[in-house]
């Protein structure tokens, strides 16, 4: 699912970068704040919901940071039963994309789950509230860990060039755990966006 959404980000992102070529873009989020993006959530080629992202600036503990808000809502019908899910994520990053704070809220068929976390010095502290009960824990993460949800911006900053490869430790706000991912920038292509031909790259995440 991560691959699907990330490739969709790029097709929309390049179309919103004015007349610049994709390979010349060095930042998506910081080009013209606030940054906003609307996307369709797809499952096997069928639209099942919507995804909205907004990036702006805020203050966190006296520092200016990037604030990213995302809202996803989906509805899947199986055997005549409608399954509705909604998730909101809000997280703070420094300008170099170092993660510092996040808040995730999800609602699966009426059951709300809230997870709040802070990341400092290679440690993430989690506070989870479910059905009125709150639990806390902390775990160590690699010092170079970044938010998985920032992969779009990370890849653009590293350079959109066919054949570029790099590995990252990322912390997912869906699984609340760290994983290692490999990112590969594929072939350059051209698509028609709003009546204009724009340059795009397929980005594969493994």
Domain regions of the chain by residue span: 2-205
Query: Could you tell me which residue, 61 or 131, shows the higher pLDDT?
Result: 61
DSSP reduced 3-state for 162: coil
Burial, 71: exposed, middle or buried (Cβ in 10 Å; 0-12, 13-18, 19+)?
middle
The whole-model pTM stands at 0.78
Report the C-alpha gap between 118 and 125 in whole angstroms. 5
Q: How far is CA 194 from CA 16, 60, 179, in A?
A: 10, 38, 37
Residue range 19-28, pLDDT digits in tens = 455 555 567 7
Residue among 41, 42, 39, 43 nearest 52 (CA)? 39
d(C-alpha 165, C-alpha 205), whole Å? 10
- pLDDT single digits (tens) 136-179: 999 999 989 999 888 888 888 888 888 989 999 999 998 899 99
The DSSP string of 49-110 is: EEEEEEEEEEEETTEEEEEEEEEEEEEEEETTEEEEEEEEEEEEE-TT--EEEEEEEEEETT
């Amino acid at each position: 699912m991560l691959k699907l959404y990330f490739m969709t980000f790029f097709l929309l992102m390049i179309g919103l970068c004015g007349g610049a070529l994709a390979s010349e873009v060095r930042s998506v989020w910081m080009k013209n704040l606030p940054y906003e993006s609307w996307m369709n959530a797809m499952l096997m080629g069928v639209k099942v919901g919507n995804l909205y992202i907004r990036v702006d600036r805020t203050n966190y503990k006296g520092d200016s940071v990037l604030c990213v808000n995302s809202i996803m809502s989906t509805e899947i019908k199986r055997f005549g039963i409608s399954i509705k899910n909604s998730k909101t994520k809000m997280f703070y990053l420094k300008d170099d994309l170092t993660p510092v704070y996040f808040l995730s809220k999800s609602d699966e068929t009426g059951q709300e789950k809230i997870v709040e976390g802070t990341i400092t010095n290679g440690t993430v502290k989690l506070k989870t509230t479910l059905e009125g009960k709150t639990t806390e824990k902390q775990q160590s993460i690699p010092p170079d860990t970044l938010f998985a949800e920032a992969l779009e911006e990370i890849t653009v900053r590293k350079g959109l060039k066919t054949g570029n490869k790099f590995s990252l430790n990322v912390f997912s706000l869906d699984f609340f755990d760290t994983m290692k991912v490999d990112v590969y920038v594929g072939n350059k292509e051209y698509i028609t966006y709003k009546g204009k031909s724009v340059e795009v790259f397929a980005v594969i995440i493994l």
